[in-house]
Amino acid sequence: MEHFSAVQSIIRAGLNGDAKAVDKQVRRLQSRLRKAGSEKEVEVLERLLHAASETKELAPSRVEVSRSLVTGEELSRDANPPIDRETGAALCEIAFPSDEIVTPVHGATVGEAVEGMIEEWQSAALLSSMDVEPTKSVLIYGPPGSGKTLTAHYVANRLGLPLLTARIDGLISSFLGTTARNIAGLFSFANRYRCVLLLDEFDALAKLRDDPQEIGEIKRVVNTLLQNLDERRRHGITIAITNHDRLLDPAVWRRFESQIHIDAPHSDAREHMIARFLKPVPASPATIKLFAYCLAGLSGADLERVCTAVKRTLALNKSPQNAASVFDALVGVLSKAPHLENQAAWMLTEDLEAFVSLAANDHDLRLKQTEIGEATGFGQSKVSEIKQKKRHLEVAERFVAQ
């Protein structure tokens, strides 16, 4: 039987329970099938790999949070959130734990910080032997669209607790006297129930301080918040989120036991997100790498937007779902992007051959000519020819000059 040795290797890896090796051997078989012209079989295997990665992404297990550490009543679905007495607007939104929660993608440092916090709750008994408690207050900061809110939802969900989200700017009333009352109302609601309190857009508070009028009143508001944050430690967990960490003064900063900085995703995290956001489009690792290459510097939210636009293009053009049309769709989407700061993305839209030359000559990208050939639809021999000419060097000068 043809390809028997590849099938044998897959079975061996499967029996050893080594998912990574199975993946690698299936990729090997795919490349042999491709060479033999069996594109249909390659696609079937691609779909199988996709389905497997989807199940791997199922939400991880919940942690049982001790009642002595997070106190209060169970929050029922018909509980009414507190409201601003002047406007009647709700002071927070309530999200209950759900099986559909998305696991955020982070690089190693952030991933370990987030999982570490959850693990502390899992090992609360161990911690108590040293007379310490799990972390109850975290400040998450980073640029827009980096997954801060998503991460807060994920943490609450892993802990099996409802999440109360209050936007600080929503608490700030045009009548400052009401603001202090709103803050007190919010915290007393949060402390009454077992929940995670999320203070989103936390920097709104700091901005308020710059207002030269109302200085005394604002101090009072900030103090109310600080006191409530201190008091809250006895009741439950608080997560605060800000885009502008520099705006927060040390007194606020100190209130949080741990700080997590989420930045624009590095290449591994980008690839992981792109693979997720492109689903159900079957995209090979080489295609995903090329996407991640062009989309360096983008936030998770931006990556999602680009991938969604690519899928729209593919659907509307009724394109065959092969690597070349996925790549074409990316070129189309990026061509419409207003401003591209990334040289690879810019070259992709300005001069395709220069882009291929850039990718083929970039050793850090670690893509073989065959892979670039397949992912772009150029084919290996054309890529080899383009690579020699190094056209990207001269085009790069235009990028610098622009």
Ligand X SMILES: Nc1ncnc2c1ncn2[C@@H]1O[C@H](COP(=O)(O)OP(=O)(O)OP(=O)(O)O)[C@@H](O)[C@H]1O
Summarize as ranges the residues that interact with ligand X (CB under 6 A).
104-106, 144-150, 243, 273, 300-301, 304
Given the complex with ligand X, which of 187 and 202 has the nearer CB atom?
A: 202
Binding partner selected for residue 301 from ligand X, Mg ion, none, CB under the kind-specific 5 to 8 Å limit = ligand X
The DSSP secondary structure of 224-241, one letter per residue, reads HHHHHHHHHTTT-EEEEE
> What is the number of helices (H) and of strands (E) in the chain?
20, 6
Q: Which 3 state secondary structure label does DSSP give 260?
A: strand
Given the complex with ligand X, which of 54 and 230 has the nearer CB atom?
A: 54
Given the complex with Mg ion, which of 81 and 145 has the nearer CB atom?
A: 145
- The least distance separating ligand X from the CB of residue 153, rounded to whole angstroms, comes to 8
| Residue 30 per-residue DSSP state | H
* # of chain residues touching Mg ion (CB under 5 A): 1
Place of tokens 């370990």: 112
Given the complex with ligand X, which of 271 and 351 has the nearer CB atom?
A: 271
Residue 346 to residue 297: CA distance in whole angstroms: 13
Sheet containing strand 196-200, edge to edge, reads: 93-95, 163-167, 196-200, 237-242, 137-141, 258-261
The gap from C-alpha 333 to its chain's centroid, in whole angstroms, comes to 21
Q: Which two tokens stand for residue 148?
A: 């801060």
- The least distance separating ligand X from the CB of residue 328, rounded to whole angstroms, comes to 25
Place of tokens 């605060």: 240
- The least distance separating ligand X from the CB of residue 144, rounded to whole angstroms, comes to 4
Binding partner selected for residue 150 from Mg ion, ligand X, none, CB under the kind-specific 5 to 8 Å limit = ligand X
| Residue 214: count of CB within 10 angstroms of its CB | 13
Q: Is 267 exposed, middle or buried (0-12, 13-18, 19+ CB in 10 A)?
A: middle
Binding partner selected for residue 333 from ligand X, Mg ion, none, CB under the kind-specific 5 to 8 Å limit = none
Binding partner selected for residue 338 from Mg ion, ligand X, none, CB under the kind-specific 5 to 8 Å limit = none
Q: Which residue is nearest to ligand X (CB)?
A: 300
Residues 6+ apart with CB under 8 A from 347: 354, 355, 358, 392, 395, 396, 399
- The least distance separating ligand X from the CB of residue 380, rounded to whole angstroms, comes to 34
Interface with Mg ion in residues 143-172 (CB under 5 A) = 149
- The least distance separating ligand X from the CB of residue 260, rounded to whole angstroms, comes to 11
Q: Which residue is nearest to Mg ion (CB)?
A: 149
Q: Which two tokens stand for residue 78?
A: 């018909």
Given the complex with Mg ion, which of 13 and 205 has the nearer CB atom?
A: 205
Binding partner selected for residue 145 from Mg ion, ligand X, none, CB under the kind-specific 5 to 8 Å limit = ligand X
Which segments of 317-351 does DSSP mark as H helices, in order?
323-335, 343-350
Residue 164 to residue 169: CA distance in whole angstroms: 15
Given the complex with Mg ion, which of 240 and 345 has the nearer CB atom?
A: 240
Place of tokens 């020699």: 388
Given the complex with ligand X, which of 96 and 175 has the nearer CB atom?
A: 96
- The least distance separating Mg ion from the CB of residue 241, rounded to whole angstroms, comes to 6
Binding partner selected for residue 300 from Mg ion, ligand X, none, CB under the kind-specific 5 to 8 Å limit = ligand X
Q: Which two tokens stand for residue 304?
A: 């999602």
Given the complex with Mg ion, which of 27 and 167 has the nearer CB atom?
A: 167
Question: How far from each other are the two terminal CA atoms of the chain, in whole angstroms?
Answer: 57
Given the complex with ligand X, which of 10 and 198 has the nearer CB atom?
A: 198
Handedness of CA 273, 284, 18, 41 (dihedral sign): positive
- The least distance separating ligand X from the CB of residue 312, rounded to whole angstroms, comes to 16
Which amino acid, residue 376? T
Binding partner selected for residue 236 from Mg ion, ligand X, none, CB under the kind-specific 5 to 8 Å limit = none
Interface with Mg ion in residues 201-220 (CB under 5 A) = none
Which amino acid, residue 54? E
- The least distance separating ligand X from the CB of residue 388, rounded to whole angstroms, comes to 39
- The least distance separating Mg ion from the CB of residue 163, rounded to whole angstroms, comes to 13
Closest CA to 153 of 201, 74, 99: 99
Binding partner selected for residue 243 from Mg ion, ligand X, none, CB under the kind-specific 5 to 8 Å limit = ligand X
List contacts with Mg ion (CB under 5 A): 149
